[in-house]
Structure 1
Amino acid sequence: MNLRTLLREALTAARTAPVPSALVLLVVAAMCFAAVATVGRQAATEAAVAAELSGPAARVLTVTDSGGTGFLTGATVATLAGLDSAGAALARDMPVDTVNAAIGAGGTRVAVTHVVGTVDRGVELTRGRLPGPGEVVVPEAKLAELGLAQPSGALESGDGRQWAVVGAFEALTPFEDLADYAIAVPAAPASLVVQQVRVLAPDTAGTRAMQDSALAVIDPDPRSSQVQTARALAAGNATITGELAGLGRSLLLLILGAGAFFVAIVVLADVLIRRRDLGRRRTLGIGRADLVLLVAVRTAAPAVLGAVVGAGTGYAVVVGQGGALGLDFVAGVAVLAALTAVVASLLPAAFAAFRDPVRVMRTA
């Protein structure tokens, strides 16, 4: 039997046997829906965790002068910013509470902190310009709280010092905490004593080199400092992502295995019910391999349709609930489910192909 004839016969057989075809379609659709809705969501969670463990926030080394010894200075920060292994280095001193000078002591307070290092990597100006000595930029979200319609005016501390407001900014990752401060720059950056310095590695691969180089420059005293190492170097990261990946694979195999079992049962029942038709084909000269292929293609037709329906429905449900799934994953699940159904049909097909056709015709 040539391939074209075989395909035509298989599709005709699938149409004339609506019950087993519908059952195969439903089983494969359920298999795809379950895989996309559960394994797909778990895969999205795995990707989000991996991104967080390798993102900018995980590549930051933080050193804090908890003892107030003054070992961190602007000169140290300048050296850190010049390291080849550092993507950014940013430090701030002890903040000072201020209010809108036009309102006075009863106004909303905002802390002013002097920042040194790669300031442009920590904030993005939304209005105005970067500050000079005696000037500040204010977080965009705090302008209204301070009673400022525009980034202008002045902030005043309790001891009478004032800073002119010259701009507004949004804090960038991983320096989001700067959104709590009005940022000033010192007149003499090198001599500024800072409370905390953070160094950012440009990528995950360079995190170890950045941390080793930065700690060699800072040489913190463990008795008067706190060192928070980059989370990207944590030994448990690989374990966490590995366990998530293993869970997803196990769940996918379980779903595919259950689906394959039910498809095999449906196909076996179909070949037993239609044994007279299959026996007639054998007596008319169809080969065993062609008969196996006929049953497999007859199973593949509703399986492909079920895979499309199930995967599409699962994708729509996950996306509708705010999840994020790659279309390549959804397509991969659909293809894998359809192939699983075809493979599951081979054993019942082989059982039908290797039965004695004469005996089948006599007992059917």
Structure 2
Amino acid sequence: MIAGMMVAVMLTTGRSVGAEQQVLGSIDDAGTRTIQIRAENGAGLSADVLDRIGGIDGIEWAAAFSSAIDATNTQIPDGTRVPVRLAYGTHLERLGIPKSSPVPGGLAYASPTALTQFGLPDVAGSITLTTGASYGMAGTLTTPDFLAAFEPVTLIPQPDATGGETVNVLLVIADRPDLVAPVSDAVLSVLAADDPTKITVQTSEALAQLRAIVQTQLGTFARGLVLVILATTGILVAIILYGLVMMRRKDFGRRRALGATRALIITLLLTQTALLALTGVILGVTASTLTLVLAGDPHPGWAFTTATSILALTTALAAALIPALTAAGRQPIHELRVP
């Protein structure tokens, strides 16, 4: 019975939970926690904004970037021009940029797309900006989803920035999707731009709201289905155990006559039920996991599986409690008397 319950939960609610996790993961990949602030030329937004937003709770990551400057392979002056940005921030290692540099401010890092356009697929060479400055190509960038719109991406980290440098893009990642709106308001309040009318903000608040709706609806359905299955299983287990107790009532009467206490009878029944339920849980989890894997369906994860297993054991023990009390309450004289 418990094995069947585990299979039913894992193949219905478990499959729904796995699908929910995939949907939420897809939404998160689209950047539900991203706040992008763009400053036009003359807005007066400087790199020291990172110091001011550093005291705002709910920010996981932040970085600022200059306006794009065209650059070419130093060896191919007439080659493809690729946009390059100066990068400001203390956590650029998330992008694949080392925390320390042998030539601070003198090295560039590019995405695979940018390296191909530069003609530097082996990350060996240098680039020259239209301003005349040259930088050695030091490594490959890891381009996260929130930088996909900037492809091809080439960044020149500025670890020795004074804070007065002009920036045109500020990217902020909130800790959670529901914090996008309040974090956005807090960041805007400390921008200190000379001309706020030249500031535009793009947030993923709509995606965050969609995420919350999807999670609520799928979660409510999943919880309701689990409760129905658990309740049905609990009732059936209680009925079966009660029938077994009534069939063995004389056996329990003999045990009482030989000195067994009510507590001992209850303990024996609950222990037996727990061992059988544990066996059922193991069989059910194994069978349902193999079924999901073979069918190519999403697995709900081991956290859900563990929680469901604990609920199954608890349900079995709760269902066994009344039959156990009934068995412990049998009177030896009544059960052992000969008609």
Q: Which residue in 2 is equivalent to 1:4?
A: none
Look at both structures and tell me which one has the larger radius of gyration over its CA atoms: 1
Cα RMSD for the two superposed structures: 5.1
Match of 1:113 among 84, 108, 117: 84
1:171 aligns with 2:142: yes
> Over residues 243-265 of structure 1, what are the superposed CA-to-partner deviations in whole Å (9 max), with x where a residue is unaligned?
45433332321221222233234
- Structure 1 185/234 Cα, relative in aligned 2: closer, same or farther at 3 Å? closer
How far residue 28 of structure 1 moved from its aligned partner, in angstroms, is 0.6
**Pairing of 1:316-355 with structure 2 (within 5 A):** 323=299, 325-326=301-302, 329-347=304-322
Count of residue pairs the alignment pairs up: 322
- Structure 1 43/350 Cα, relative in aligned 2: closer, same or farther at 3 Å? same
Distance in 1, Cα, partners of 2:271 & 2:228: 24
Distance in 1, Cα, partners of 2:116 & 2:207: 40
How far residue 143 of structure 1 moved from its aligned partner, in angstroms, is 3.2
Q: Which residue in 2 is equivalent to 1:9?
A: none
Indicate conservation of the 8 Å contact 1:318/1:324, yes or no.
Answer: no
- DSSP 3-state at the match of 2:141: strand
1:199 aligns with 2:172: yes
1:88 aligns with 2:62: yes
Query: Which runs of 5 or more structure 2 residues have no equivalent in the other structure?
Result: none
**Pairing of 1:236-255 with structure 2 (within 5 A):** 241-255=215-229
Distance in 2, Cα, partners of 1:250 & 1:304: 24
- DSSP 3-state at the match of 2:119: coil
- DSSP 3-state at the match of 2:190: helix
Q: Which residue in 1 is equivalent to 2:97?
A: 125
> Over residues 126-173 of structure 1, what are the superposed CA-to-partner deviations in whole Å (9 max), with x where a residue is unaligned?
79866747x64322564355432543334467x796744331232365
Indicate conservation of the 8 Å contact 1:54/1:232, yes or no.
Answer: no
Distance in 2, Cα, partners of 1:238 & 1:361: 68
- Structure 1 360/196 Cα, relative in aligned 2: closer, same or farther at 3 Å? farther
- DSSP 3-state at the match of 1:143: helix
Distance in 2, Cα, partners of 1:314 & 1:207: 38
- Structure 1 317/104 Cα, relative in aligned 2: closer, same or farther at 3 Å? farther
- DSSP 3-state at the match of 2:319: helix
> Over residues 319-353 of structure 1, what are the superposed CA-to-partner deviations in whole Å (9 max), with x where a residue is unaligned?
786746236x5344333313322333455566776
Letter in 1 for 2:95: V
TM-score normalized with structure 1 length: 0.62
1:79 aligns with 2:65: no
**Pairing of 1:1-364 with structure 2 (within 5 A):** 27-40=1-14, 58-65=32-39, 68=40, 70-73=42-45, 76-85=46-55, 88-94=62-68, 96=70, 98-102=71-75, 109=80, 111-118=82-89, 121=92, 123-125=95-97, 132=105, 136-140=108-112, 142-144=114-116, 146-155=118-127, 163-171=134-142, 176-177=147-148, 180-184=152-156, 194-200=167-173, 211-218=184-191, 224-229=198-203, 231=205, 241-270=215-244, 274=247, 277-279=248-250, 281-282=252-253, 289=262, 297-315=271-289, 323=299, 325-326=301-302, 329-347=304-322
Q: Which residue in 2 is equivalent to 1:24?
A: none
Identity among equivalent positions (%) equals 20
Query: Which runs of 5 or more structure 1 residues have no equivalent in the other structure?
Result: 1-26
Indicate conservation of the 8 Å contact 1:89/1:200, yes or no.
Answer: no
> Over residues 28-78 of structure 1, what are the superposed CA-to-partner deviations in whole Å (9 max), with x where a residue is unaligned?
1121233345545555666788899999x555432124xx453144xx222
Indicate conservation of the 8 Å contact 1:77/1:117, yes or no.
Answer: yes
Letter in 1 for 2:237: V
- DSSP 3-state at the match of 2:54: coil
How far residue 288 of structure 1 moved from its aligned partner, in angstroms, is 10
- DSSP 3-state at the match of 2:7: helix
TM-score normalized with structure 2 length: 0.66
> Over residues 270-296 of structure 1, what are the superposed CA-to-partner deviations in whole Å (9 max), with x where a residue is unaligned?
456x3xx53465478558957666655
